[in-house]
Structure 1
């Protein structure tokens, strides 16, 4: 019998959890496996250090051929090194648990912990409202014709209380970052870096290019904004983010924002969960959905954040003499080169956007579509929005009111708006 993969074991455990046969399934899998099988089960069940995402298994001691030392090259922060004996060591002080090393390991010795199975009892019992919040990149990932309303129905069939599009809170951050730009940029020498979306981009600034930290706009990511917004309105709720990115699992554990999101699932994991539970989103009823503007929806692709904020600023501050002049970095290498250039004083713009994945979030490592096709779906969904910017979106104005934020300009001040604020200079 061939060794089961990590994903195969995860799928079997999900199915057994919903069927109430988990203990029996674990015994059967262990009986036909080896020590690696036990490690797979351990991390698929959500065990391990709760502060970490990436783990070494399978006797990973760096015994792979030198030409296969891909994990070291993939690490953005020099967290993976070799000790005196040549063994692989992950330095916790440097590791952001972004997951970039996982797919490059030729020997499946690096894995990310799954966070779904510990939630299943909550989903089945329905004693606590558990919300799925979905990244803007989800459009088209589960079928060309699958609507957001059908995805909402699919998550409800899993036991989620509801599904919220993170694009709705990307709208709020477009407003906030437009106001922040207006507040920070007054001369041709001033510039800012967006903090929206990408934890890899932000992590590179905080860990490598510290001098630029004061230029990061002080906003949380749309994921955090959405999680905190839901919990402001429903304090007992649990929130699960669904996206294409392992790095979001690490972002959700950062000390100053860990209150927002309780678990993170990737698109790949959700596909496995749907298959294990016999759910086909294409067969689901189409529940009414889609309250975000075009700007919030296009956050998923490179340049989308810039366009959303620029369009919002044009409408919000039409008389501002300095408009947004933007440069985007697409992929890890471009992010590195752009930040190195800015750090050395080569300033060619006043608004910088970085996406760690080529194409933006649609190019995330756990996306189900190629980034080009994902971009087409995202752009089409943006064009279908009734509102072009959040200022034209009545749902945003109502949401702000429910969050006790009296008007758009109040996003930069007051206790209510603090849920969208982040201090990157605090360490």
Structure 2
């Protein structure tokens, strides 16, 4: 949801930071702004508690209905939103996961998610440190049907980024790992595995609410984390900025055990605002092509994509395996709850559970720029254009793995060799 005032302040900060006169612009905004301008400036410039994502910038009148779709308190998955005696919102930060659901539904523009780009601009301008933009698989089509991955790469380079890497390439790598994890953990008909791959809302729900299922989560980092760590392994000293449709990724990037991977997170909506602020039109950029991901990695962006990618890959690795993947997908928060409850009640016959906190998957995230159905079509078409169906047949994946210290796919089960791709949920 676009936030009048807050988004406009962000664009002015970006434009003036590139021009080198941000202090003057801030003084001007404070003179001409309203009583919320200081709060806008603080969070639009990346201020506030560095470990938090969601902030309240003003009180509201508490007149929201009790429906989940437009009530921040009801929408919160973790009881982090309460109201004081006068009906005003209070954020219980100890409970807050940073998922951003409250920001997404707030109609009063009282809650915002911090924007993290302004502190990165100086790095982009002086170019002393290579800064990489890593883009979520859902990016395809978001900035216009004529904006190819090559044009997006050129646009990010115009901003000052050293390069752009598609996270789909590292989704390929983790697809291999997940296929092997399934083979290791599902050896009987009654066994099952929950994927930890994409959605931080799904993972947070399991960790915080459905704790009895934690032992069944695959011990893998997300593709975002794998990509950030991979880049920093290959380019020591580099900085990494993730670009995606999700507020929750801002919180994931700050989690203690994985905060080494990504230095800042931008949403598609914020990137559009940045391009507008500095006058970049991606559709007019020249091609800067470099695409190496398979179909498997590219379709992570939509519900069912992870399941299909891992199932196809397992079939390719182990075509004679008796126990095949029987997948079920949770599409949206309500569906996530339903499926997890069914697992606890012993009603689930599937052996592979994929959860997406947003209906449609990442293409339905809160900061997408196009209709989720249209986004899925773009993702599926881009998947079909890939030169390989699975990472097993992707020569670029195999070459990259060797550079990252993985000589054989079975090294993924070696906790030392595959340390950058492993995460403990116990």
TM-score range, shorter chain: over 0.9
Deviation string 1:218-254 (CA, Å, 9 cap, x unpaired) is 1000000000111111120000000000000000000
Q: Cα–Cα, structure 1 residues 221 and 4, in superposed 2: closer, same or farther, change >3 Å?
A: closer
Q: Cα–Cα, structure 1 residues 4 and 374, in superposed 2: closer, same or farther, change >3 Å?
A: closer
Superposed displacement of residue 4, structure 1: 5.7
Paired residues for 1:214-233 under 5 Å: 214-233=215-234
Paired residues for 1:21-420 under 5 Å: 21-58=21-58, 60=59, 63-65=61-63, 67=65, 70-84=71-85, 86-420=87-421
| Distance in 1 separating the partners of 2:370 and 2:160 | 26
Deviation string 1:384-408 (CA, Å, 9 cap, x unpaired) is 0001100000000000000111111
Superposed displacement of residue 27, structure 1: 1.0
| Distance in 1 separating the partners of 2:424 and 2:104 | 32
Would you say the 8 A contact 1:149–1:286 is kept in 2? yes
Secondary structure of 1:329's counterpart equals: strand
Structure 1 stretches of at least 4 aligned residues deviating more than 3 Å after TM superposition: 83-87
Would you say the 8 A contact 1:4–1:37 is kept in 2? no
Secondary structure of 1:15's counterpart equals: helix
Superposed displacement of residue 83, structure 1: 3.6
Superposed displacement of residue 329, structure 1: 0.7
Superposed displacement of residue 320, structure 1: 1.1
Deviation string 1:259-313 (CA, Å, 9 cap, x unpaired) is 0000000000000000111101111111122100000000000000000000000
Paired residues for 1:13-28 under 5 Å: 13-28=13-28
2:7 matched to which residue of 1? Answer: 7
Would you say the 8 A contact 2:62–2:87 is kept in 1? no
Q: Cα–Cα, structure 1 residues 78 and 4, in superposed 2: closer, same or farther, change >3 Å?
A: closer
Superposed displacement of residue 414, structure 1: 4.3
5+ residue gaps in structure 2?
Answer: none
Secondary structure of 1:217's counterpart equals: coil
Q: Cα–Cα, structure 1 residues 347 and 6, in superposed 2: closer, same or farther, change >3 Å?
A: same
| Distance in 2 separating the partners of 1:75 and 1:345 | 27
| Distance in 1 separating the partners of 2:406 and 2:241 | 24
Secondary structure of 2:55's counterpart equals: strand
Deviation string 1:35-86 (CA, Å, 9 cap, x unpaired) is 201100111110000000000112x2x5322537711011011111124554
Would you say the 8 A contact 1:115–1:265 is kept in 2? yes
| Distance in 2 separating the partners of 1:407 and 1:145 | 39
5+ residue gaps in structure 1?
Answer: none
Deviation string 1:112-145 (CA, Å, 9 cap, x unpaired) is 1110000000000000000000000000001101
Alignment size in residue pairs: 421
Of 407-416 and 209-218, more deviation after overlay is shown by: 407-416
| Distance in 2 separating the partners of 1:66 and 1:268 | 25
| Distance in 1 separating the partners of 2:107 and 2:387 | 46
TM-score (norm 1): 0.97
Superposed displacement of residue 347, structure 1: 2.0
Secondary structure of 1:132's counterpart equals: strand
Deviation string 1:307-363 (CA, Å, 9 cap, x unpaired) is 000000001111211000010010111111111111222121000001000000000
Would you say the 8 A contact 1:44–1:114 is kept in 2? yes
TM-score (norm 2): 0.97
